[in-house]
Amino acid sequence: MDLEQVEILFDREQVMTRVKELGQEITNDYQGKNLLVVGILKGAFIFMADLVREIDLPLEIDFMDVSSYGVSTVSSGEVRIVKDLDYSIRKKDVLIIEDIVDTGLTLHYIKEILKKRGPRSIKICCLLDKPSRRKAEIIPEYVGFSIPDNFIVGYGLDYAEQYRNYPAVCILKPSVYEK
């Protein structure tokens, strides 16, 4: 990790402690259900890999990749499905795994699409939540950490596709992107 570019917000140990707690909570809540864990690529891949190993239940895994329309910095909330789920979610208890909920527009859109496919339930689990930035009414059922409005990288999260491999959840120093 290049500590001239990032500042550690939660180290690997703090993250794993919280991921274990979330796994236990989910294990309790989904007893006897038909759990399908849906990861939103690419940001959720590391969080999801750790989280599912802390869920002590039979479950299935699928992935979805979406991208925002256009290149504007202002998110319209209109997303395009780049990779859809491989299987039907009919009668499944869908748990969406996301790296971070910011405006909430992306997840709002994904939820609307998935609702139409007849799942038994849909809930959201995110590693990080920036509630101060919300534009769409999205309240994740499971939140790792609620954080102020900083730009985060590491543990799967990127800036221009970099830093996803950093093991800690880090704040990207503004000097990196304000150049």
Which tokens hold the place of 129? 């939540």
Rounded (10°) CA dihedral 159, 164, 168, 170: 0
Residue 104 interacting partner from Mg ion, ligand IMP, none (CB closer than 5 to 8 Å by kind) = ligand IMP
Q: Select from 102, 119, 125, 144 the one that contacts ligand IMP (CB under 6 A).
A: 102
Residue 34 interacting partner from Mg ion, ligand IMP, none (CB closer than 5 to 8 Å by kind) = none
Q: Select from 5, 14, 34, 75 the one that contacts ligand IMP (CB under 6 A).
A: 75
Is 102 catalytic? The answer is: yes
Residue 75 interacting partner from Mg ion, ligand IMP, none (CB closer than 5 to 8 Å by kind) = ligand IMP
User: Quick check: 104 binds ligand IMP (CB under 6 A)?
Assistant: yes
* Structural element, H or E, at residue 12: helix 12-29
Site stretch for ligand IMP (CB under 6 A), options 21-29, 55-63, 93-101, 111-119: 93-101
User: Quick check: 43 binds ligand IMP (CB under 6 A)?
Assistant: yes
Instruction: Give residues with Cβ within 8 angstroms of 37, minimum separation 6.
Output: 48, 51, 52, 55, 59, 60, 61, 62, 95, 97
Whole-angstrom CA distances from 30 to 64, 97, 123 are 22, 15, 11
Catalytic residues: 102
